[in-house]
Amino acid sequence: MCNTNEETAKKRVLSCIQPSGLLTLGNYLGALKNWTEMQYEFDCTYAVADLHAITVRQEPAKLRSQIYSTFAILLALGIDPDKNTVFIQSQVPEHTALSWLLSCYTQFGEMSRMTQFKDKSKKHPDNINVGLFSYPVLMAADILLYKSDLVPVGEDQKQHLEIARDIAVRFNNIYGDVFTVPEAYIPKAGARIRSLQDPSKKMSKSDDNVNAWIAILDGRDDIIRKFKRAVTDSGSEVRMAEDKPGVSNLITIYSAVTGKSTADVEREFEGKGYGDFKLAVGEAVADALAPIKQKHDEIIKDKKAMEQLYKAGAEKAEYVARKTYFKAMKKVGFVL
């Protein structure tokens, strides 16, 4: 994927993100901000994981728009498509092809124990489809196609990485050294951002209350308005404490976007009320996200240029994916 000897010596990292809704401040501070930094240390592959999005029903036009927008956001963040492989998952057919092959080396019991399947089945009881059940195998294919050494994971993805590792080891034990067995990569701790309306929950784009979360592409006025409405706690002191989950969440956000320590933030707002603090957090977040939104809007307007980039990314990805897929098929005994 990279050409120089120095770059090929770098460890390979795969990171994917679904285009199943608007990306939030939580996505940015918790993960995406780290992606721009990882590209200087690792040989990175970044994918818009659109195939994973259809385990729940999607409106076609809206899904297509979200795929474009998510790809544009990755570029707007500063991820360099020349330095990295940046592509849309569905444009590389080896993902689904390898997924079928790996399905035959994955046990039903392993899939039935996946906690996300259980959770999503409860949320969508009218659409408990086979894709929802088996999508960890597709995720394993995503990882194994690119011989990923490291995969950044959060708490909710550790189980999926373990399945990918188990499948790779099982296949290798039968057929020899085919797949790289990936390790979990715990990046520099990203901020754990909570809902602005219920700090007991993480910030999520699926929250029905639009005031609970900030979209990366929200306008300045909307961002400040949402922070003004953010839930705080009893009293008026701005400090990090277990009995102040609302204020603690706002301190975490302010620290993450300004680079100030918790102690610095507490000193800055000593003697000031929650109103001043919430306004300052909103303005700081708006300032941090404005350049990303501006760049995204510029990229998304030039559909032809963006098409060239995602097609080039898919070609770059498929060059690597095809070699891995053909090697696995040949080992199993297929005629190629």
Q: Which helix (H) or strand (E) holds 72?
A: helix 60-76
CA–CA distance, 282 with 224 (Å, rounded to integer):
4
Confidence of residue 125 (pLDDT cuts 50, 70, 90): confident
pLDDT in tens, 261-318: 999 999 999 989 899 999 999 999 999 999 999 999 999 999 999 999 999 999 999 9
What is the average pLDDT across 24-49? Answer: 92
| pLDDT confidence of residue 21 | 75
CB-facing half-sphere around the CA of 261: CA atoms within 13 A:
3
Q: For residue 196, what are its two tokens?
A: 């602005």
Contact 229, 211 (CB under 8 A): yes
| pLDDT confidence of residue 6 | 44
CA 67 to chain centroid, in Å, comes to 13
pLDDT above 80 for 139: yes
Q: Which of 31-45, 55-69, 103-117 is least confident?
A: 103-117
Confidence of residue 189 (pLDDT cuts 50, 70, 90): low
* Domains parsed from the chain with CATH numbers: 5-191+303-332 (3.40.50.620), 210-296 (1.10.240.10)
Please give the torsion angle defined by the CA atoms of residues 91, 93, 70 and 254, in that order, rounded to the nearest 10 degrees.
-150
pLDDT above 80 for 57: yes
| pLDDT confidence of residue 2 | 42
Q: Which among 227, 257, 224, 255 is positioned nearest to 240, based on CA atoms?
A: 255
| pLDDT confidence of residue 5 | 43
Confidence of residue 77 (pLDDT cuts 50, 70, 90): very high
What is the average pLDDT across 201-206? Answer: 87
Q: State the Cα angle at 159 between 74 and 39, rounded to 5°.
A: 25
Catalytic residues: 120, 202, 205
Q: What is the mean pLDDT of the chain?
A: 90
What is the average pLDDT across 150-167? Answer: 84
Confidence of residue 186 (pLDDT cuts 50, 70, 90): confident
pLDDT above 90 for 132: no
pLDDT above 90 for 327: yes
pLDDT above 50 for 200: yes
Query: Model pTM?
Result: 0.89
Percentage with pLDDT > 70 across the chain: 93
